[in-house]
Amino acid sequence: MLPALLTAQVIAATVGVLVYRRRWAEDGWYPTFVPVVSVAPATVLTYGSTVQAVVAGAVLGALAGPPLAAWISRRLPADFHPFIGNVVSMTVCTLVAIPLLGALPGFTAI
């Protein structure tokens, strides 16, 4: 399972950086790490080391996690650390993505 976890994390990081590279350049930083430590590994741990679990978890997380984290972090009070937005995004994306994928054919919890 470790190779599948690492593969999902690499795919999530790569997709996140490629999709949001302009945001990274404009803002100087963008939370593309969010799916690497949330949706991608949670999908593999829930649905196993299948190709569809690795790819779907990585891509879904990479597309949804960073913009939600950035959106939440921008709306926090000034004295709140922006990382709170990142953690909330990790939680929300994982809580939505795992059941959503489970409703699709081929995704059976292990």
If one counts the domains in the chain, the total is 1
pLDDT at 85: 97
Q: 84 is in which domain, residue-wise?
A: 2-102
In a domain, 107, yes or no: no
In a domain, 9, yes or no: yes
Q: Which of 39, 102, 43 is nearest to 66 (CA)?
A: 39
In a domain, 109, yes or no: no
- Indicate whether this model's pTM tops 0.85: yes
Give, as one character, the DSSP assignment of residue 78: T
Cα 62 from Cα 77, distance rounded (Å): 26
pLDDT at 44: 98
Report residues of the chain scoring pLDDT below 50: none
Cα 10 from Cα 47, distance rounded (Å): 18
The upper half-sphere exposure of residue 44, i.e. CA atoms within 13 Å in the direction of its Cβ, equals 25
